[in-house]
């Protein structure tokens, strides 16, 4: 009788036992989204907004935490994530600096392949850079700024957040195409740059529009141009560089959801679907825009990879065009 009970129980045991080769449940612990910048910036805010919306879509028990690892324009966080297990439990919201400008301008110091070392999951969005001058500056247009720079006996001082970052490469390209050489002053962050602008310690700056907006609103800085092909809704009266005679000038910062290379296709697909569904919510799109991130159109893992690769090539082209050379460290 005991043997018969065992035989009867065997089908039930087999039904509940994991099949050979079956994938374990995912996620089976909290998912970390690593952000390479301090809390409160547009990348951090965007990551937190997205995490709140995608966690419920990944399962009733799914939980996402934000882990800030600032430094080197996001490159420290990117290197960390690239070395993590590709099980879908460590992701990152990367930026144009960590996966575009830093690898292009500082190839000897970036210890990861921005395309090959990552699973590319979804494009979140982006936004233009903004060329700004102090509120008391006499320069009222890009043409006036460029002419003053070419006529000055000493190079104009200009700044952005860190050597090799997107503001640095954007400013170098602007100066190169405008035909002048300025003296670049790197700062530790956007707030430091704009404080220098408030004190008129530099002649102009190239910053992410979202970071510059509070200072544009209070009049301590004044915008002369945005770097997207057209005008931006937040600054409808400010012409783009392309409108002001810089044909083909198209640089925007961006954020992309990624993980280490090799995340299983099934997991990558679930994350992409969750992000795509979340990004379709009008409230999330409105809140991202308020944080300075223009929400992206739907993307796939393949199209996201293609986007990052194309942006990297763009920034490598800027480095070649300008002849920018940055040292180690």
Per-residue pLDDT reduced to its tens digit, 226-256 = 999 999 998 999 999 999 999 999 999 999 9
Checking if the pLDDT of 17 tops 70, the result is no
Q: Are 49 and 101 contained in the same domain?
A: yes
Instruction: Select from 257, 236, 239, 259 the least CA-distant residue to 249.
Output: 239
Q: What residues make up the domain containing 297?
A: 29-126+253-322
pLDDT of residue 115: 98
CB within 8 Å of 55: residues ≥ 6 apart: 31, 62, 63, 64
Asked if residue 139 belongs to a domain, the reply is yes
What is the residue-wise DSSP string for 67-121?
Answer: EE---GGGHHHHHHHHTS-SSSSEEEEEEHIIIIIHHHH-TTT--S-TTTTEEEE
Mean pLDDT of 168-193: 90
- What's the confidence (pLDDT) of residue 292? 78
- Residue 306 inside a domain? The answer is yes
316 pLDDT above the threshold of 50:
yes
Mean pLDDT for 19-37 is 80
Does residue 287 sit in helix, strand or coil? Answer: helix
Task: Answer yes or no: is 2 within a domain.
Answer: no
Give the separation between CA 46 and CA 264, rounded to whole angstroms.
25
In a domain, 264, yes or no: yes
Q: Is residue 147, in this structure, part of any structural domain at all? A: yes
Kindly provide the b/e burial profile for residues 142-155, where b requires at least 16 CB atoms within 10 angstroms of the residue's own CB: beebbebbeeeeee
pLDDT for 75: 93
Q: Would residue 108 count as lying in a domain?
A: yes
Say yes or no: 302 and 163 in one domain. Answer: no
Residue 14 has pLDDT above 50, yes or no: no
Please report, for the domain that includes residue 177, its CATH number.
Answer: 3.40.190.10
- CA distances to 31, 61, 202 from 87, in Å: 10, 17, 46
Same domain, 90 and 54: yes
Which token pair is 107? 């190839």
Residue 3 exposed, middle or buried by CB count within 10 Å (0-12, 13-18, 19+) = exposed
Q: Is 19 helix (H, G, I), strand (E, B) or coil?
A: coil
Residues 229, 170, 113: CA angle, nearest 5 degrees: 105
Query: For the domain that residue 69 is a member of, what is the CATH number?
Result: 3.40.190.150
- HSE (side-chain half, CA atoms, 13 Å) at 35: 21
Percent of the chain with pLDDT over 90: 73
DSSP state of 58: G
The mean pLDDT of the chain is 90
pLDDT at 31 over 60: yes
Q: Is 146 helix (H, G, I), strand (E, B) or coil?
A: helix
160, 314 in Cβ contact below 8 A?
Answer: no
User: What is the average pLDDT across 96-112?
Assistant: 94
Looking at the domain assignment, is residue 111 inside a domain?
yes
- The share of the chain scoring above pLDDT 70, in percent, equals 92
Confidence of residue 23 (pLDDT cuts 50, 70, 90): low
Global pTM reads 0.86
Mean predicted confidence (pLDDT) in 37-55: 91
Q: What's residue 193's pLDDT?
A: 85
Band of the pLDDT at 161, cuts 50, 70, 90?
Answer: confident
Could you tell me the pLDDT band of residue 329, with boundaries at 50, 70 and 90?
A: very low
Assigned domain for 244 exists: no
Mean pLDDT of 307-320: 97
- Residue 5 host element (H or E): helix 2-16
Total domains, the chain: 2
Is 143 found in the same domain as 117?
no
Please identify which residue in the block is written with the tokens 């690898």: 103
- Residues 296, 306: one domain? yes
């Amino acid at each position: 009788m005991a043997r018969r009970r065992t035989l009867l129980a065997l089908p039930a045991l087999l039904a509940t036992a994991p099949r050979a080769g079956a994938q374990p449940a995912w996620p089976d612990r909290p998912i970390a989204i690593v952000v390479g910048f301090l809390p409160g910036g547009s990348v951090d805010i965007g990551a937190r907004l997205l995490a709140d919306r995608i966690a419920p879509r990944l399962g009733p028990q799914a939980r996402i935490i934000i882990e800030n690892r600032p430094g080197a324009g996001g490159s420290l966080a990117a290197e960390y994530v690239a070395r993590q297990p590709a099980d879908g439990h460590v992701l990152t919201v990367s930026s144009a600096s960590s996966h575009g400008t830093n690898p292009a301008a500082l190839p000897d110091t970036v210890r990861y392949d921005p395309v090959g070392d990552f699973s590319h999951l979804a494009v979140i969005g982006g936004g233009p850079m903004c060329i700004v001058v102090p509120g008391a500056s006499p320069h009222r247009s890009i043409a006036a700024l460029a002419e003053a720079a070419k006529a000055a006996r000493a190079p104009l001082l200009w700044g952005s957040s860190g050597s090799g970052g997107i503001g640095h490469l954007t400013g170098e390209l602007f100066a190169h195409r405008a035909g002048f050489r300025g003296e670049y002053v790197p700062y530790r962050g956007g707030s430091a740059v704009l404080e220098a602008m408030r004190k008129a310690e530099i002649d102009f700056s190239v910053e992410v529009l979202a970071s510059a907006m509070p200072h544009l609103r209070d009049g301590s800085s004044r915008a002369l141009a945005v770097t997207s092909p057209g005008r931006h809704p937040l600054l409808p009266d400010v012409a783009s560089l392309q409108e002001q005679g810089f044909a083909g000038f198209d640089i925007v910062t961006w954020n992309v959801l990624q993980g280490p290379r090799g995340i299983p296709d099934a997991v990558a697909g679930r994350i992409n679907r969750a992000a795509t569904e979340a990004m379709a919510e009008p409230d999330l799109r409105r809140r991202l825009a308020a944080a300075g991130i223009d929400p992206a159109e739907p993307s796939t893992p393949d199209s996201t990879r293609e986007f990052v690769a194309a942006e990297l090539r763009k920034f490598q082209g800027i480095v070649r065009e300008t002849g920018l050379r940055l040292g180690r460290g």
